[in-house]
Structure 1
């Protein structure tokens, strides 16, 4: 999985809020909306003065009310509802249930009022769904609003002028507003994702590394990853490179190290970050025991030298225990421990990795060197 900022598209909201209190707040607000829809649909199903008079239609609306109540419980109880499949399935159900409830109301005036429910559903599509899903929702909402307005004109329950005004207001609330909000929201998501990256290298920054730990330890994460390791790396003799070659060359070396670590991260289910001037870190997550010696032996500790002088790195490697309820504290402790081991590697001459069992390991060369 790549961590380059240049490759960022509009990110998924779930990826940004997974494992945080924000996810819980969002779930409860969607669940509350489901509960309200269930109450409205139940009212429509039971009250023949407002809802449909035919028995099959009343049963269908009642079933939609029951399904909405179940959805409310699911949203309130599990983060798994934020995953793509359940939330997309809920979106389809929301479209069908809302349209069914509105079109089953005999009086078009009441049905027009009910069309405002599409604005509520549009909020979920704006926040959680992709642009194509939102476009589909807006098309359905617009079609139901127009069909209801035509029915109102045919019934003569409202004047043509009143019907047009009501239709326009509904279009603004249920179609135009969610679309405009989506355009703004997409930009905000991109900016939020970029705040987690290091612009010069495209790797994560320290906040981004913490965020990835929250995401990877999210209970809804599949497959479940229970084993983590942290690697801290530092470029050997970087000051002498800057002093003898200049800062521009030093920047080239930093970018080449970043590219090498990103390639390693993509191949090993890891996340690479730049956490200091010439200091980097990697978070490795697996669903099985991580053998630190093997990890150290495969860790890239020498750059290919394509864009500047060849450079070596020293590394410290530790396991990341998640016994603490505060995952940021656990990560900070692991980074400090790995940092101390990294300096021990430097004192032994550099270009090696030292694991928490105090074993120095000669790392791998850059990917290009091994081809």
Structure 2
């Protein structure tokens, strides 16, 4: 027995030494920003030492995670499917530029939920990589693309609303222009996330397959962390805030001449615009804070392990909840999509979806706020 105990102790010491000395330099942070932004949560360093267990948490914690992620999965699928159904079943709805962007957003969020949630839940529960080297590369890469696409599409919607309000007499953004914008969004998202596919691979440590990131140097990993933080969070957040602020200034603070006070519909439009920015910022903030702490916080081993097992799952859950909130913000609170739903479920119903577009363009240059009041029917 003494020999066996000594062997086990020596094996554990060797695993600890491997995790603390070799992996941080070669692998870098397994829970760093790039990986979290992609929505793919891998095993952490502590798991290389704790190879005696197949699970990362206790049974109670695993049940809580399963319930949390199952709820998000159901809401994401039902919500985004409903939005797509509303738009696709109404031909005229597909001709509205805003709805065109919303379709792209709902599609990205739907695929993100279908692909991301099951794999993320499994990687939070099991220590060993269950999917092999191919999926180790493909899944985080695809998820990173979908996350960036969702964020950029939200910004595109804000810009389209801004252009409609601030330049009401100019020609509207066409479907062709919107299509080019969406294609550009996908191309940029692929380019940004290329390093994720390049640094991921599954290798064997302690007799178990571990999917991890293998950076040539920690400096490169930290540079990429900052790059993703700026391009996929900070800049879109600032852009959304500024664009929505300008919109609010035009449709609420300076109401039309005929109305001294903002109408209920106008207040609803302002709430929708404000909600998009606030929800986006709050949903993704915890995950980015964790990523910065991971790379720049000089955390101890126990702090790092605790954050991987208990903080990251909640932060990721909050980020994924954004895929459920978007259908509510852009669907349930949007008169256009509600009209599309009525038209889809009641073929005899004549939608008011394009009431603004059916209004003839005035031959004279209108006062900006009066015209904005008409055009914002598409937003409300």
The TM-score bracket by the shorter chain reads under 0.3
Task: From the two aligned structures, give the one with the greater helix fraction.
Answer: 2
Larger Rg: 1
TM-score scaled to structure 1, two decimals? 0.22
Task: From the two aligned structures, give the one with the greater strand fraction.
Answer: 1
Bigger relative CO (Cα 8 Å, ≥ 6 apart): 2
TM-score scaled to structure 2, two decimals? 0.22
